[in-house]
Amino acid sequence: MQAERGAAIHLDLPFYRQHWDFTCGPASLMMAMKHLDDGVHPDRDLEIDIWREATFVAARGTSRYGLAYAAAVRGFMARTTSNSGGIDFQERLASTLDASDMQLLRDQFAERRARCLKLHVQEGQETITGSTIRRSLESDRVPLIVTSALFYCDDDLPHWVAVTGMDDAFLYFNNPDDTWPRRRRFALAELEQFVGYHGDQSLVEVWRD
């Protein structure tokens, strides 16, 4: 996975630590919203409100359309991108849900996508590369991406993080599951391993018009 070379970009994203093991998406989104609008006040109430709007319902995680919807109803612009066009990390969800819950998940995913389209949330389907993320940063957008929690702990779970920057060697990000604020980084030369969960990539970009 190659990234376009260019000047270093670093966003001054505030850090927010998730309070529940299933709110990495809402916590990442709140970091982006606070960066874009100082009037946003991240707290547990907002965290759980966003989770209710973004959750898969049948599973406790949050989808790209759910997070984009939560951003859009609060006046932010949003775009979703995935490499498959399907449900975020569906393979893992299918292994843990019965047929009835899977149908609920599919219905909820379609409903959230329809709400996003009504709110003019943009969407795309492409492989998410370093170049994709750099273009987002250069457009004054905050990218949120899914990775695996295995990169920082022993749990093989999908995990949302907020990208804070990029230079010629590293991608920088805030991990909402960290216990204290710190800028994490991952080598661009190995970025293909980091972006996505078991090959299923999801990206949400958030910005102000």
At residue 2, the pLDDT reads 44
Rounded Cα distance between 134 and 163, Å, is 10
| DSSP string for residues in the chain | --------EE--PPP---SSTT-HHHHHHHHHHHHH-TT----HHHHHHHHHHHB-SSSSSB-HHHHHHHHHTTT-EEEEEESSSSSTTHHHHHHHS-HHHHHHHHHHHHHHHHHHHHTT-EEEES---HHHHHHHHHTT-EEEEEEEGGGTSS---EEEEEEEEE-SSEEEEE-TT-SS---EEEEGGGHHHHSSBTTB-EEEEEE--
The residue type at 14: P
For residue 151, the model assigns a pLDDT of 87
Instruction: Note the pTM of the prediction, 2 decimals.
Output: 0.93
Between CA 114 and CA 98, with CA 176 as vertex, the angle to 5 degrees is 50
What pLDDT, on a 0 to 100 scale, did the predictor assign at position 1?
41
pLDDT of residue 53: 95
Task: Kindly state the tokens that stand for 51.
Answer: 């989770």
How far is Cα 72 from Cα 106, in angstroms, rounded to an integer? Answer: 21
pLDDT score of 48? 97
pLDDT (tens place) for every residue of the chain, 209 residues total:
444 567 899 999 999 999 999 999 999 999 999 999 999 999 999 999 999 999 877 677 899 999 999 999 999 999 999 999 888 876 666 667 788 888 888 898 899 999 999 999 999 999 999 999 999 999 999 999 999 999 888 888 899 999 999 999 999 999 999 999 888 999 999 999 999 998 899 999 999 98
Q: Residue 10 and residue 118: Cα distance in Å, rounded? A: 32
What kind of fold does domain 9-207 have according to CATH? Answer: Cathepsin B; Chain A (3.90.70)
Where do the domains of the chain lie? 9-207
